[in-house]
Amino acid sequence: MIFSAAASPSVLGWDILVETAQDLAILSLGATGAIFDNARVEQAFGSNSALLVISLIAIELIFSSIIVFARAKVARESQSLAGGTMVLFLGFLTLGFTAGALVWAHAHGS
């Protein structure tokens, strides 16, 4: 977000929040795959590990599609800071799901 604002000050506002939300969603999708490749995480979730990773990725893809839809449709019609903040929250939420799974696995793993 800081690099985008520095490179193009005219982008400041709603669009930079949505761009940051997209970046967070992409980061969380990649991190989810990497986290569940860890043997300790797999052991913590046991036989439900594959089901959990598929569910997390599905949720993250749904949130990602909402972010992309918001950028494509709503950004053209209304560029409110509240709308951008809500979309940014979805981006943080996707990353929070991934981080939550990692924290839970390390707290409950053997």
> 62 vs 9, which has greater pLDDT?
62
Pick the closest to residue 98 from 61, 56, 58 (CA basis): 56
What string of DSSP letters covers 32-67?
Answer: HHHHTTSHHHHHHHGGGHHHHHHHHHHHHHHHHHHH
Query: Which pTM value belongs to this model?
Result: 0.78
Domain boundaries, the chain: 12-108
For residue 17, what pLDDT is reported? 77
Q: Is the pLDDT of residue 85 over 90?
A: no
Model confidence band, residue 62 (pLDDT cutoffs 50, 70, 90): very high
Tens of pLDDT, residues 8-55: 655 556 677 778 888 899 999 999 988 888 888 888 888 888 899 999
Mean pLDDT of all residues in 75-95: 78
